[in-house]
Amino acid sequence: MSDQLRPRSAGSKNLKTIARHGRLKKSNAAVTVAKFLAGSVAVVLVSGFSVAAIATYDVAKSVQPSVHLADKANGPVPSIGAIDGGVNMLVVGSDSRVGQDAAFGPEDATGDLNDVTMLLHISEDHSNASVISFPRDMFVSIPSCPDPDGGSFSAMSNQKINTTLTYGGLACTVLTVEKLTGLSIPFAAEVQFSGVMSMSSAVGGVPVCVAERIEDEYTGTFLDAGEHVLSGYDALQFLRTRHGVGDGSDLTRINNQQLFMSSLVRTIKSADTLSDPTKVYALAKAVTANMRLSDSLNSVTTLASIAIALKDIDLDQVVFAQVPTGTTTGGVKAVQPAFDNLFEAVAADQPLSLSGTTGSGTVADPNAPVEAAPAPAATTDPTATEAPAATEAPVAPGVVLSDSVTGQTAGDYTCTAGRTLKDQ
């Protein structure tokens, strides 16, 4: 299919209006990624929400107007309890400055690009979950998308995925990822810069490890090696930094974001957070006040049911993965067959096991906690011979992904591979 925009059916807008897709302003890489990251963090962090906090009136009234997804019928609102079956949810973020802090620039500084796009999958039996990142510069085929103002936009064969939000809104991004992966995605959310700040502050800050000093003049991020507890604006800038991490690319920035999300999940699931009603309430409010949700998700009861499904998943069974890509002119493209194999495993509801590295944006944390080995069982009979320990049946690893898929689990402790100005 040609990248030239085709005429549309009656009721559509004229081509002059639609042609704006080809003239999108280039987004500042360091600015837009974290905004979306907030959304996917929000989805993961919801695992710590208490139903009581989510259901409070003040949280409920903060829910924003919803977005209708194409070809999706809204089912009944679930009762309080874990949602039935599996979940596919797309979380995207906009680089729009509208309504945001002046520190991010004027409201018309950029377009409305989804520079972080992540898919959350919860297994049917709620035993595992995955959060899969799509690089902003990944070229994809965009299907025909409904125009939020009426009519439809023409399909395009080769455009960056981060243009879909500008082209046809959240519904278009969902349609694009559905076509790309072969999955049905009934839930979606869009988040803004303020969401990252609110969520990180709500838990009292997120601990991050820095292996080598980070220096980034674009985001004003300067962090020495060691552990830092980041919240609010500092947390947002840490997520936005690209020049100060790894090789300075968006791919290594995603590694850094996965580090942050893993730590956030551990923080939320800790007793310090779950036993503090103030923190739980603040988390619930941060999500509902800072995210635009699809019709299917725009209910505190639905949010709570997804939260409950996530609540008891073991940290090692929450996998953060970046889709495998290779370089192409002006961006990146999917690497086959590893890309298709990843989403075939998700479609088959198989647990995902990583075989690759965490990516060059992060390194293993040398100070990661080590679980103590269980003490041997005591015996009161000195003449008794110790019976051999029963061996547990090995846990099936599920589908072992190609080593071209980088990522980590929420149970993995990693440190940012920082980058100083002299290396930029």
Structure confidence at residue 249 (pLDDT): 95
What angle separates helix 250-268 from helix 232-240, to the nearest 10 degrees? 140
pTM of this prediction exceeds 0.75:
yes
What pLDDT score does 16 carry?
A: 30
Cβ 284 vs Cβ 59: under 8 Å: yes
pLDDT at 414: 98
Q: Kindly report the average pLDDT of the chain as a whole number.
A: 79
Residues 6+ apart with CB under 8 A from 114: 36, 92, 93, 94, 136, 161, 162, 164, 165, 173, 190
Residues 67 and 73: their CA atoms lie apart, in Å, by 12
- Average pLDDT estimate for 339-362: 97
3-state percent breakdown (helix, strand, coil) of the chain, nearest 5: 35, 20, 45
Q: Give the CATH number, domain containing residue 170.
A: 3.40.630.190
Does residue 387 sit within a domain? no
- Domain-located, residue 45: yes
Whether residue 8 has pLDDT greater than 50: no
SS3 55: coil
Angle (CA) 16 179 89, round 5°: 105
| Amino acid type, 333 | K
Question: CB under 8 Å to 320, separation ≥6 — which residues?
Answer: 130, 131, 133, 258, 261, 262, 407, 408, 409, 410
**In the prediction, which pLDDT does 54 show?**
40
Q: How confident is the model at residue 37 (pLDDT cuts 50, 70, 90)?
A: very low
| 15 in a structural domain | no
pLDDT above 80 for 98: no
| 391 within some domain | no
What local confidence, expressed as pLDDT, does residue 22 receive? Answer: 37
Q: Report the number of distinct structural domains present in the chain.
A: 1
Contacts by 26-29 with C-beta closer than 8 Å and gap 24+?
Answer: 27/95, 27/110, 27/111, 27/113, 27/115, 27/136, 27/162, 28/95, 28/110, 28/218, 29/115, 29/136, 29/242, 29/250, 29/253
Task: Please write the tens of the pLDDT for every residue from 183-207.
Answer: 999 999 988 777 778 889 999 999 9
Is a pLDDT exceeding 60 seen at residue 67? Answer: yes
Tens-place pLDDT, residues 338-350: 999 999 999 999 9
pLDDT tier, 74 (very low <50, low <70, confident <90, very high otherwise): low
Instruction: Read off the pLDDT of residues 294-332 as tens digits, 9 standing for 90 and up.
Output: 988 887 778 878 888 888 899 999 999 999 999 999 999
Helices (H), 120-276: 164-181, 193-202, 232-240, 250-268, 271-274
Q: Report DSSP letters for 361-408, one per residue.
A: TEEE-TT---PPPPPPPP-S-TTPPPPPPPPPPPPP--EEPPTTSEEE
| pLDDT for res 293 | 87
Predicted confidence (pLDDT) at residue 40 exceeds the cutoff of 90: no
- pLDDT higher at 41 or 385: 385
Do 293 and 374 touch, CB atoms closer than 8 A?
no
The two structure tokens encoding residue 289: 């006040």
What's the pLDDT at 42? 41
Domain holding 244, by residue range, is: 28-368+396-423
Distance CA 94, CA 386 (A): 62
Residue 94 resides in a domain? yes
Least confident of 254-263, 311-320, 375-384: 375-384
C-alpha 208/C-alpha 231 separation (Å) is 11
